[in-house]
Amino acid sequence: MGMSWKEGVLTGLLAVAAASGLTTLVLVLVESTSILLPADTKFGIVFDAGSSHTSLFVYKWPADKENNTGVVSQALVCQVEGPGISSYASNPAEAGESLRGCLKEALALIPAAQHQETPMFLGATAGMRLLRWKNNSQAESIFTEVARVLTQSPVDFRGAGLLTGMEEGVSSWITVNYVLRNLLTYTFSGEWVRPPEATLVGALDMGGASTQIAFVPEGPILNASAQAPLLLYGANYSVYTHSYLCFGRDQMLSRLLAGLVQASPSGPVRHPCYHSGYRATLPLAPVFQSPCVPASAPPGASANLTVEGAGNPGACVSALRDLFNFASCGGREDCAFDGVYQPPVQGRFYAFSNFYHTFRFLNVSDGKPLDAVNASVWEFCRRPWELVQASYPEHARWLRDYCASGLYILTLLLEGYGFTEATWSNIEFRRQASGTDIGWTLGYMLNLTNMIPATAPTLQQAESYGVWVASVIFMALTLVAILGAASVQLFWPQDSDS
């Protein structure tokens, strides 16, 4: 007995539904496979040779997405044992040898077949700037030895160089805005879009020897030497940046102590930023060795220096203010300190490196209001040294300096850069953004490898993805409609002619 016409229609609908469902399944499986089995991964290596230590970063990204944004991620961070390379002035060969341990870790992570095509850079910052200022031949010897060791590695070593302060500031700005996808982002509708300029984040960096500020101001930048014009993904950015050499944490502490020694050349130094009850005998000569300290040891001073803590945060702030030349600005709003031009701060900022580490130790890095931050730092400074030692045994190396560092950060941000109680909440103290350590290294690598093109990316990839999404949605809706019709035929009451 043959099928009725309704049974034939129903059979056809089910056949179409099956074919549609199979097509949808194939599309989903193909896309899932492309997600689960990503394209080959590429890698890049950057050594951050800072003043107090050296760090190695390994970055990775899908090989077919070099010119898109938000695809580079951090694969490894390795802290090189020992001090920064500038500390090896008397033994340059050790500067190069110190890098071998972390380099070995990086090479173990990256597949051997990709070593030859992996770019590697070493960038040195303020510590080497100071050494070059003090003794250029010693600085060149260190760079020579570092290059000798890194050239022996199987990767594509592209050189060891000294970053300018502007390069350091701008690279940090690129890093934080890149990982936050503030330069370009991909929407669910399958389009590349440029977020509003208001989403851009300023960068506040502090190392051992220098500190940098970088941001896009509201108005024009009136000093060409402080302007870094950038063309990224087809958009022009005018970034203000300045680097203050000798205003990093370690150099600030040295300058502070040297000033107190000059004020008390004949007796024990009463240090207002050290906790009451602290007492130590230090060699005097290193205090005056840095080129950041313009003075020399007082005549007739002994070889050793006795320092006693006073635990006086008010006097500490006064001593810290002496490190700045605020009077040189003459009350101008577009001036920070030491006569340096700076537009008014604008927008949100990420403060990292020693900004973050100091405030995290002091437990004020989590968005506390300014008055609470100030009160917490002052309370810590007033604690007796015996109590502080008992409370933080694991922080012995820097423990005596956290009071000075905390008050210095407050002085720099408020009286130097011009943040106020109203704009304080715009600062976020962070070590990472989107799982990536914030600093200059990623932005530096992106720039030197041309991974952020000047032109906007084509929409081909976005369009193909949108077509895939639309196809899946269409097939799924078709399948639902056909199955719905089939269910009507199966379950709706039949008429007398059926």
Query: Can you give the pTM of this predicted structure?
Result: 0.84
The b-or-e profile of 335-367 (16+ CB within 10 A means b, else e) is bbbbebbbbebbbbbbbbbbbbbbbebbebbee
Catalytic residue among 66, 94, 145, 168: 168
Q: Is 168 a catalytic residue?
A: yes
Q: Output the CA–CA distances (angstroms, integers) from residue 299 to 130, 262, 302, in the order listed.
A: 26, 10, 9
Q: Report the CATH number of the 249-322+353-429 domain.
A: 3.30.420.150
Beta-carbon contacts of residue 246 (< 8 Å; ≥ 6 apart): 130, 209, 210, 252, 255, 290, 292
Per-residue tens of pLDDT for the chain, all 498 residues:
455 655 554 555 455 555 555 455 444 444 443 444 455 899 999 999 999 999 999 999 987 765 554 589 999 999 999 999 999 999 999 999 999 999 999 999 999 999 999 999 999 999 999 999 999 999 999 999 999 999 999 999 999 999 999 999 999 999 999 999 999 887 766 677 888 888 999 999 999 999 999 999 999 999 999 999 999 988 999 999 999 999 999 999 999 999 999 988 777 999 999 999 999 999 988 889 999 998 888 887 778 899 999 999 999 999 999 999 999 999 899 999 999 999 999 999 999 999 999 999 999 999 999 999 999 999 999 999 999 999 998 888 899 999 999 999 999 999 999 999 999 999 999 999 999 999 999 999 999 988 888 887 754 444 444 444 455 455 555 554 555 555 545 444 444 343
Give me the pLDDT at residue 204, please: 98
Q: What is the DSSP letter of 317?
A: H
Domain ranges of the chain: 5-37+460-491, 249-322+353-429
Beta-carbon contacts of residue 369 (< 8 Å; ≥ 6 apart): 421, 424, 425
Give me the pLDDT at residue 267, please: 77
Give me the pLDDT at residue 117, please: 96
DSSP code per residue over 124-170: E-HHHHHHHHH-HHHHHHHHHHHHHHHHTSSSEEEEEEEPPHHHHHH
